[in-house]
């Protein structure tokens, strides 16, 4: 099977399916309230000519979907995580822990960090699911 292009609808769907299939995510994210907008900052040198906007619709241990969206939709989310493309790539490749990156300012969180930390295992499980995807990055 061909690797999935990062930021493609197929990649988003595959990630959502992995998270949906995770019994651990359902347990760890029980009680979670709030959608997540991710802003991946452009990096022309890495073949990312424009900012990318990702929307994670998670609620109470459920995954309603993961989608590429426009800036407005991403910025309306309860939690917004912004960072350089290379940081996001490091997270997706298990080279950088997303929660530590937020605490260190490598990824910027707009929203309640203590709330996110309360659900840290759910966050980590959703990222673990992401790292299982055979993904092709634009600069690979």
Pairing of strands 52-59, 36-41: antiparallel
Q: Contact 69/7 with Cβ under 8 angstroms?
A: no
How far from the centroid of its chain's Cα atoms is residue 22's Cα? Answer: 16
pLDDT tens per residue, range 72-131 = 999 999 999 999 999 999 999 999 998 889 889 999 999 998 898 899 899 899 999 999
The owner of tokens 């490749």 is 93
Overall size of the chain counted in residues: 140
Q: Rounded to an integer, what distance in angstroms lies between the CA atom of residue 13 and that of residue 133?
A: 11
Nearest residue to 108 (alpha-carbon basis) of 75, 80, 134: 80
CB count within 10 Å of CB 30 equals 12
pLDDT tens per residue, range 42-63 = 999 999 999 999 999 999 999 9
Domains of the chain: 4-132 (3.30.1050.10)
Residue 113: what pLDDT?
Answer: 85
CA distances from residue 112 to 33, 65, 87 in whole angstroms, order as listed: 12, 22, 21
CA distances from residue 32 to 15, 44, 55, 117, 122 in whole angstroms, order as listed: 19, 35, 16, 11, 9
């Amino acid at each position: 099977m061909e690797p999935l292009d990062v930021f493609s609808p197929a990649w988003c769907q595959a990630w959502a399916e992995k998270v949906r299939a995770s019994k651990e995510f359902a347990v760890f994210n029980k009680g979670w309230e709030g959608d997540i907008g991710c802003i991946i900052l452009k990096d022309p040198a890495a073949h990312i000519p424009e900012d990318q906007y990702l929307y994670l619709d998670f609620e109470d241990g459920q995954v309603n979907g993961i989608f590429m969206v426009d800036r407005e939709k991403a910025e309306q989310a309860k939690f917004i995580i912004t960072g350089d493309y290379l940081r996001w790539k490091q997270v997706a490749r298990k080279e950088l822990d997303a929660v530590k990156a937020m605490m260190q300012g490598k990824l910027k969180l707009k929203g309640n960090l203590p709330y996110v930390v309360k659900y840290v295992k759910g966050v980590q499980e959703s990222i673990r699911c992401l790292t299982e995807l055979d993904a092709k990055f634009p600069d690979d």
